[in-house]
Amino acid sequence: MKRAAFLDRDGVINRDVGYVHRWDEFEFLAGVFDAMRRLRAAGYHLVIVTNQSGLARGLFDEAQYGELTGRMLDELARQGIAVEAVYHCPHHPAGTVERWAMDCDCRKPAPGMILRAAAEHGLSLADSFMVGDKLSDIGAARAAGVGRAFLVRSENPECPGDDKVAADGVFASLADCVDALGRA
C-alpha cells in the first residue's frame, strides 16, 4: 500500500482569497513547489482534498473549477510535481444551487474525500498524513484514520493557536511542515 500526503488547497498550496476560481487570482504560496517535490522524493503520493462550497453557493461553476484545477496541475507538472489526484466537495447545506445544497459525507470535516482517495488509489491511511489550514481538515483526517494531521497557519486569520488544536503539529506554512518532517 502507498502512503500519501493529503493536502488542502486554499491556504496550503495557494493564497486563500476566498472562493478562488479564476487563474488570475490563484497564487502559489512561497515554498510550495519545493515542499511538494520533497514530499514526492520521500515517497509520498500527493492527493489534494478541497472543500469548494463556491459551487453550491453559485459563485462559480464546474467548468470554472475544472479549468482552474487543470491550470494548477499543469503548473505543478511544469515544476516537476506529480499529483496523484484532486478531490473536491461541491456541497454546502446552505447552498443556492439545488443539486449541491446538502449535507454530504465528503465536506470536511467528514472523511469522504480521503476515504474515496484511499480506496481508489490503494493508500495506507495509517502511513499517511494530512496538511490543512482549518480544524475541519484535521477533523477529516482524524475521522478517516489518517496517521498524522498537521495544521499550517499560512495567512489564515481563523487558524487557532497551538494550544487550541488537536493537530500533531502547527506550522507557519507547508514548507515549514515539510522541513520539520524531514528532521523527524
Q: Give the pLDDT of the chain (184 residues) as one tens digit per residue.
A: 899 999 999 999 999 999 999 999 999 999 999 999 999 999 999 999 999 999 999 999 999 999 999 999 999 999 999 999 999 999 999 999 999 999 999 999 999 999 999 999 999 999 999 999 999 999 999 999 999 999 998 766 555 555 456 899 999 999 999 999 987 6
Q: Which CATH number belongs to the domain containing residue 22 in this structure? A: 3.40.50.1000
CB 73 within 8 A of CB 14: no
CB 177 within 8 A of CB 36: no
Write out the three cell numbers for 167: 493537530
Write out the three cell numbers for 155: 495567512
DSSP state of 28: B
Radius of gyration for the alpha carbons in the chain, expressed in angstroms and rounded: 15
Number of structural domains the chain divides into: 1
| Domain span holding position 41 | 4-183
Residues in the chain, total: 184
Which residues are known to be catalytic? Answer: 8, 10
Q: Chain-centre distance of CA 126, in angstroms?
A: 18
